Chain A
Amino acid sequence: MTQPGERLDRGRVITFTFDGKPVEAYAGDTIGSALFAAGRRTFSRSFKYHRPRGLMCVSGSCPNCICSVNGASGARACTEPAREGIDVRHVNALPSLEHDAMRATDLVGGPFTPPGFYYKTFIRPRRMWPLYEKVLRHAAGLGKLPATQPEREWRTEYRRRHADVLVVGGGLAGLHAALAAAGAGADTVLVDEGPAPGGQQLVTGGSRELVGAVRAAGVEILERGSALGYFDGLVPVWQSDTLHQVRAAQHVFATGTIEQPLVFAGNDLPGVMLASGARRLAALYAVSPGRRAVLATTSDRGLQAAVALRDAGTEIVAVADLRPETSALGRSLRAAGVPVFAGRTIVEASGGSVVGRATIAALGGGAELSFHCDLVLVSGGALPATSLALQAGAQTVYDRASGQFELSELPAGVHAAGELARARCDEAIAASGELAGLRAVAALGRDDRGRDDGRHDDGGRNDGRHEAARDVVRARIDELEARSPEAPGELALAPAVSGAGRGKCFACLCEDVTAKDVSQSIDEGYDSIELSKRYTTVTMGPCQGRMCQLPAVRLMAAETGLSLGSVGTTTARPPWVSVPMGILGGRPTQPARRSAIHDRHRELGAVVRWAGDWRRPYHYGDPQAEALAVHEAAGLIDVSTLGKLIVRGPDAGDFLDRMYPNRFSNLRPGRIRYGVISSDAGRIVDDGTICRLDDETFYVTTTSGGAGAVEEWFSWWLAGWGHRVRLTDVTQGMAAVNLAGPRARVIMSEVCDLDCSAPAFAYLDGRQGRVAGVPCLILRIGFVGEVGYEIHVPAAHGVHVWDALMAAGERHGLRPFGLEPQRILRLQKLHILVGQDTDSESTPFAAAMPWIVKLDKEQDFIGKWALRHYAQRTPATSLVGFTTADGDVPTEGAVIVDETGTPAGQVTSSRHSPVLRRTIGMAWVPTALAQDGVAITISDEGRRLQAEIQTRPFFDPDGEVLRS
């Protein structure tokens, strides 16, 4: 007979495999329910002791059924839907779940594996640690990654979702909250991690109409979704392969409570289940959790489950109700023939691989009663699921009446509903949800139906109706708030541990932490819950404290004599549920900038590397030959990555005079000048060229990596100074290529409509002309020491101009060159690379550019005060060139050492120059040594290299080639 809450489609049979063997299931089954129905009782092996573990919570909270699905570890069998053809495998057991060799750690290792045993046991002898580490790493972990990277990858998605109200928890309270919020016009999202929305109502099927109403109200329901945490209003929700990043204006937490286990001997045996878990297994999946059950409970919650299971066919052979007197429900059970023992609790579950017997007793001792059974139901109170609310800034206090840590203060924008708001009965829970939903809407300041989508703005004609709706909401809030607070039901506080001395009593199933472990940690001085957590790792496992927080607090209180409230709870941290790292990673996309000519570089076989945010051709196969070609014929390099700014306005010249240490207001239109940008501390932060286009317009180039920072730097100062200057960043809008070499002029003459002769187009001239028919800005500058033309063209024409130049240059020996040959060429000229040859301490004076600082400028400029200071002092170190004696190329970063071997400087750049046929480089050396011909010693990874300083460029020191 189909049960009201059943989720199975008995008409659809599916098959999957578990450890390679086929398992049949109905559609709607979970892996766990199908395996249980097929007779499996052991689902996993525990983390440390490799004890067999079976289904316990049937809600994805505990670690007992962790398995791998299609190679992905960390799935909970009890909540993971069974799907056709999936490959499910056990974790943490070798060779099989039934026979696990590592079980020896439990049988013989218990006394030898106290908390911190890693640190205590494996510290000596020290030399053995690498071996220990290898063994421990092999033994640790739950599951193994597939062997190859492709097998480890699956598609995961990020999805951003804005909402007015986010409701976390799809139980009665959450559903009512969502319904109220959506009904009042709020764009509402509801997250529920259960198999379907409904919460505790699911088992009776009583929530279907309500869920339908919520859907009809337009609420987006993220089913089987887990809210991972709260990050300043952002709540990531993991749903299948998608991470929803939900950013809502208001949050309603209706996360309910989590039934807690009891700590007693053998409390981890397969067959020991939370009462609610057993009830879910029977009600949702039509699987009988056992034939004969013993229940140990502290409240009516367990009794309700027992009644339901009895109705479903399980014989309840005994009930241990810890309360001095059982409740009306207990009495009715007793009247129906079920032995109900008040004032008792379970002290031991025993058996072989599964439970076979349960023993109950009074807490103070006395006669014990023992029952044959195959199922032990436990209900040790409830833990309000406050974690998300705490992460949002809420506080908790311990409430003696309810025996729970209850929310006491909520931050703005956060509302609690249902059991989290201390509601207990269904009616109160529903009202609490509605109240929280309405409060959330009221806090939005927009509780007006009909204005939600903006597509049907009524121009204010319905303001009266909206006002009336607001009044209705406010009146309902008043009505709900006026209700009397609900008294907690009768309950008994669960003992910290019972049956100690009879066997292992687990406080934390994830990490195999026993009550004895917690006690021992306190004896060793870890006497607060936070310290004990770190030492024993209790609450740090996959359940994230859902199953062990309260037991650990109870143990701590019992051992220290403190009250539960004084012990407190551990800090709530995300993620609230364990989540695959891949989900957090999102799509594997890497932002990259590419020049407009990038496709051509690919076609030419360029080796492409990262250069800041850019993908740049590093070379085209032979950097030395490419460098040589620039000297012998011509080379073409893509320099589109240079930063490019248009600075225009009546005050543009004055503005640049203030930004740079040298002058630009006196630069003639059509001329170019090099500039170094210094910080207000006088340190070099960027460099580039500035071409004056007309009286009010400058074309400023920066380094590739510095473009963004320079634009921000300029904008920042502009905002303060109020110059009449407009700034436009055209870095990405302009492609740029540099044509350089002895044949460059000839090639340019063939494609350019300008007179490219030296007198007409001189070094440091900037001209606007057409190259291959396209208007361009052409700068006669060169970074590589040869006659050069830097051609700037709209990026859309980049390929066209590149192609035209390559075609024209073919018969002149033109070849493309990349970043690496460019670095060789610029080093020959001792041109600095900011960031490579300079650091945050480098000044123009120390970097051998004192000529660039115009301290006699009438304007203040950035860094002037500091540069004046530096001008009066000899720098400790100076940047110079060097050549090595034997041709070895020192590593960049190698150390310059003095005669005593003490570090005195550093190599910043070094290359072999094919045209000079020797090794050249740049280095910071003590200023006293910064003279031509001085010998220095370079210490480079154990080598000692002899080098000689050179302060003038290695190639064309007087710039005759460049200017020709």
Chain B
Amino acid sequence: MSLDFLAVHAGPDAIARSPMEGLARAAGARFEVRDGWNVAVAFPSTAVASVAVASVAVASVPQAPGTPAPPVGWADTSHERTLELQAPADELDAVEHLRLGEAVRAGDAWWCRLTRTRALILGGVMPVAGALDVTSTYASLTLLGPMARETIARFCALDLRPRMAPVGALRPGSVARQPGIVIREAEDRYRLLFGWATGEYVWSVVADAAEHLGGRPVGIDQL
């Protein structure tokens, strides 16, 4: 018997859904089925928060014409494939893209070595020998914008100052009082990984913090 049943087999007859779909819908998301996943591709610019911080520009976020940039946006990226690789340390040492405490971008995937014997591979479509598909074990939100780090500081005690967490930093720790992982993907862009079952809770925490800083949810087309 294989472990095929662990993998998300998204397709037109079996739509895969994020645990945060309901909250995204409530925030006005426009959904499209992509690769079998029902993903929030865009949000109306009115899905904004109570407090606007209009003076902050977001250089790294492509914007639709006429849509003001939020100082922080968050997108549900739970649909991206997640693989878990477990092997003896010397075997993982031999894998080029795996370095402890770092997320290394290789192709279209992040290779994240969590411990000496355990790694996650985020994104990508290529098969990885010996890896388990744990896509729906980890829900994921991507925060971006100049206030992204400040937003995370409202619910996470990890030290994400640029010197301590340069681009590519991989930081397991408490995220919104839940076990989680933070990856600094780019200058003003962070990915949060957390348990699938806590998705709704973490979205609500992120939304609460981000909206207070003038943020709003964004669709994956804005990433």
Name A's B-contacting residues (CB within 8 A): 155, 157-162, 187, 245, 247, 451-455, 587, 589-596, 598-599, 614, 640, 646, 669-670, 693-694, 697, 726, 728-734, 766, 768, 772-777, 792-800
Q: Is B13 an interface residue (CB 8 A)?
A: yes
- The answer for the CA separation of A646 and B18 in the assembled complex, in Å, is 22
Q: Are B163 and A697 in contact (CB under 8 A)?
A: no
Complex interface: chain B residues within 8 A of A800 (CB): 14-17
**Nearest CB of chain A from residue B99's CB, rounded to whole Å:** 17
- Choose from A159, A451, A694, A732 the contact partner of B196 (Cβ within 8 Å): A732
Apart from A693-B1, A734-B136: 15 A-B pairs, beta carbons within 8 A:
A160-B157, A247-B157, A454-B164, A587-B208, A591-B178, A594-B200, A596-B197, A646-B6, A669-B1, A732-B136, A733-B196, A773-B14, A776-B5, A795-B136, A795-B196
Q: Are B163 and A734 in contact (CB under 8 A)?
A: no
Q: Are A187 and B153 in contact (CB under 8 A)?
A: no
Q: Are B16 and A593 in contact (CB under 8 A)?
A: no
- Convert B89-105 into 0s and 1s, putting 1 for each residue whose CB lies closer than 8 angstroms to a CB of A: 00000000000000000
Contacting residues of chain B (1-17) with chain A, CB-CB under 8 angstroms: 1-11, 13-17
Q: Which residue on B lies nearest to A161, using beta carbons?
A: B153
Q: Are B5 and A773 in contact (CB under 8 A)?
A: no
- The answer for the CA separation of A669 and B1 in the assembled complex, in Å, is 8
Q: Give the number of residues in B that approach A within 8 Å (Cβ atoms).
A: 59
Q: Are A599 and B22 in contact (CB under 8 A)?
A: yes
- Choose from B78, B154, B159, B161 the contact partner of A159 (Cβ within 8 Å): B154
Q: Are A768 and B2 in contact (CB under 8 A)?
A: yes
Q: Are A157 and B1 in contact (CB under 8 A)?
A: no
Complex interface: chain B residues within 8 A of A453 (CB): 162-163
**Nearest CB of chain B from residue A248's CB, rounded to whole Å:** 11
11 contacts between A and B (CB under 8 A): A157-B154, A160-B158, A594-B201, A595-B197, A596-B196, A728-B132, A730-B134, A776-B5, A796-B37, A797-B8, A800-B17
**Nearest CB of chain B from residue A322's CB, rounded to whole Å:** 50
If the complex has contacts A161-B153, A454-B163, are A593 and B5 also in contact, measured as CB distance less than 8 A?
A: no
Q: Which residue on A lies nearest to B166, using beta carbons?
A: A454
**Nearest CB of chain A from residue B84's CB, rounded to whole Å:** 6
Contacting residues of chain B (192-223) with chain A, CB-CB under 8 angstroms: 195-201, 204-205, 208-209, 212
- Choose from A455, A593, A733 the contact partner of B137 (Cβ within 8 Å): A733
**Nearest CB of chain A from residue B28's CB, rounded to whole Å:** 17
Q: Are A162 and B164 in contact (CB under 8 A)?
A: yes
- Choose from B1, B11, B166, B196 the contact partner of A773 (Cβ within 8 Å): B11
- Choose from A157, A247, A598, A794 the contact partner of B136 (Cβ within 8 Å): A794
If the complex has contacts A160-B157, A247-B157, A589-B208, are A733 and B136 also in contact, measured as CB distance less than 8 A?
A: yes
Q: Is B86 an interface residue (CB 8 A)?
A: yes
**Nearest CB of chain A from residue B70's CB, rounded to whole Å:** 18
- The answer for the CA separation of A593 and B196 in the assembled complex, in Å, is 8
- Choose from A454, A669, A797 the contact partner of B16 (Cβ within 8 Å): A797
Q: Are A589 and B198 in contact (CB under 8 A)?
A: no
- Choose from A454, A455, A596, A726 the contact partner of B19 (Cβ within 8 Å): A596
- The answer for the CA separation of A306 and B199 in the assembled complex, in Å, is 63
Complex interface: chain B residues within 8 A of A595 (CB): 197
Q: Is B31 an interface residue (CB 8 A)?
A: no
Q: Are A794 and B212 in contact (CB under 8 A)?
A: no
Complex interface: chain A residues within 8 A of B201 (CB): 589-594
**Nearest CB of chain B from residue A596's CB, rounded to whole Å:** 6
Complex interface: chain A residues within 8 A of B141 (CB): none
Q: Is B156 an interface residue (CB 8 A)?
A: yes
Q: Which residue on A lies nearest to B132, using beta carbons?
A: A728
Q: Are B195 and A796 in contact (CB under 8 A)?
A: no
Complex interface: chain B residues within 8 A of A598 (CB): 200
**Nearest CB of chain B from residue A704's CB, rounded to whole Å:** 11
Q: Are B17 and A155 in contact (CB under 8 A)?
A: no
**Nearest CB of chain B from residue A774's CB, rounded to whole Å:** 5
Q: Are B153 and A593 in contact (CB under 8 A)?
A: no
Complex interface: chain A residues within 8 A of B178 (CB): 591
If the complex has contacts A245-B157, A452-B163, are A730 and B137 also in contact, measured as CB distance less than 8 A?
A: yes
Q: Are A728 and B86 in contact (CB under 8 A)?
A: yes
Complex interface: chain B residues within 8 A of A452 (CB): 163
Q: Is B135 an interface residue (CB 8 A)?
A: yes
**Nearest CB of chain A from residue B26's CB, rounded to whole Å:** 11
Complex interface: chain A residues within 8 A of B195 (CB): 593, 732
Q: Are A777 and B5 in contact (CB under 8 A)?
A: yes
Q: Are A187 and B198 in contact (CB under 8 A)?
A: no
- The answer for the CA separation of A670 and B1 in the assembled complex, in Å, is 8
Q: Are B197 and A694 in contact (CB under 8 A)?
A: no
**Nearest CB of chain B from residue A435's CB, rounded to whole Å:** 25
Q: Are A775 and B163 in contact (CB under 8 A)?
A: no
- Choose from A161, A775, A796 the contact partner of B17 (Cβ within 8 Å): A796
If the complex has contacts A593-B197, A669-B1, are A794 and B7 also in contact, measured as CB distance less than 8 A?
A: yes
- The answer for the CA separation of A622 and B178 in the assembled complex, in Å, is 34
Q: Are A794 and B8 in contact (CB under 8 A)?
A: yes
If the complex has contacts A245-B157, A589-B201, A799-B17, are A697 and B1 also in contact, measured as CB distance less than 8 A?
A: yes
Complex interface: chain A residues within 8 A of B150 (CB): 159
Q: Are B5 and A792 in contact (CB under 8 A)?
A: yes
**Shortest beta-carbon contacts, A-B, top 4:** A733-B137, A593-B197, A796-B16, A454-B163
- The answer for the CA separation of A658 and B67 in the assembled complex, in Å, is 61
If the complex has contacts A454-B162, A591-B176, A669-B1, are A796 and B134 also in contact, measured as CB distance less than 8 A?
A: no
- Choose from A596, A599, A669, A733 the contact partner of B134 (Cβ within 8 Å): A733
- Choose from B6, B17, B156 the contact partner of A734 (Cβ within 8 Å): B6
If the complex has contacts A596-B19, A733-B6, are A157 and B212 also in contact, measured as CB distance less than 8 A?
A: yes
Complex interface: chain A residues within 8 A of B7 (CB): 775, 794
Q: Are A732 and B22 in contact (CB under 8 A)?
A: no
Interface centre among A589, A693, A694, A772 (most CB of B within 10 A): A589
Q: Which residue on B lies nearest to A730, using beta carbons?
A: B137
Q: Which residue on B lies nearest to A799, using beta carbons?
A: B17
Complex interface: chain A residues within 8 A of B208 (CB): 587, 589
- Convert B105-135 into 0s and 1s, putting 1 for each residue whose CB lies closer than 8 angstroms to a CB of A: 0000000000000000000000000001011
- The answer for the CA separation of A766 and B74 in the assembled complex, in Å, is 40
- The answer for the CA separation of A704 and B18 in the assembled complex, in Å, is 22
**Nearest CB of chain B from residue A556's CB, rounded to whole Å:** 42
If the complex has contacts A733-B196, A795-B19, are A768 and B132 also in contact, measured as CB distance less than 8 A?
A: no
Complex interface: chain B residues within 8 A of A158 (CB): 154-155
Q: Are A793 and B5 in contact (CB under 8 A)?
A: yes
If the complex has contacts A587-B208, A768-B1, A796-B16, are A160 and B161 also in contact, measured as CB distance less than 8 A?
A: no
Complex interface: chain B residues within 8 A of A451 (CB): 163
Interface centre among A594, A669, A775, A794 (most CB of B within 10 A): A794
If the complex has contacts A160-B157, A451-B163, A796-B17, are A732 and B8 also in contact, measured as CB distance less than 8 A?
A: no
Complex interface: chain A residues within 8 A of B79 (CB): 796
Complex interface: chain B residues within 8 A of A587 (CB): 154-155, 205, 208-209
Complex interface: chain A residues within 8 A of B10 (CB): 796-797
Complex interface: chain B residues within 8 A of A592 (CB): 198, 200-201
Q: Are B198 and A732 in contact (CB under 8 A)?
A: yes
- The answer for the CA separation of A161 and B14 in the assembled complex, in Å, is 44
Q: Are A596 and B14 in contact (CB under 8 A)?
A: no
- Choose from B3, B86, B197 the contact partner of A732 (Cβ within 8 Å): B197
Complex interface: chain B residues within 8 A of A159 (CB): 150, 153-154
Interface centre among B5, B201, B209 (most CB of A within 10 A): B5
- Choose from B153, B204, B212 the contact partner of A160 (Cβ within 8 Å): B153
- The answer for the CA separation of A798 and B14 in the assembled complex, in Å, is 10
- The answer for the CA separation of A594 and B18 in the assembled complex, in Å, is 12
**Nearest CB of chain A from residue B147's CB, rounded to whole Å:** 12
Complex interface: chain B residues within 8 A of A728 (CB): 84, 86, 132, 134
Q: Are B3 and A646 in contact (CB under 8 A)?
A: yes
**Nearest CB of chain A from residue B191's CB, rounded to whole Å:** 17
Complex interface: chain B residues within 8 A of A693 (CB): 1-3
- The answer for the CA separation of A670 and B18 in the assembled complex, in Å, is 30
Q: Are B5 and A594 in contact (CB under 8 A)?
A: no
Q: Are B163 and A155 in contact (CB under 8 A)?
A: no
**Nearest CB of chain A from residue B157's CB, rounded to whole Å:** 5
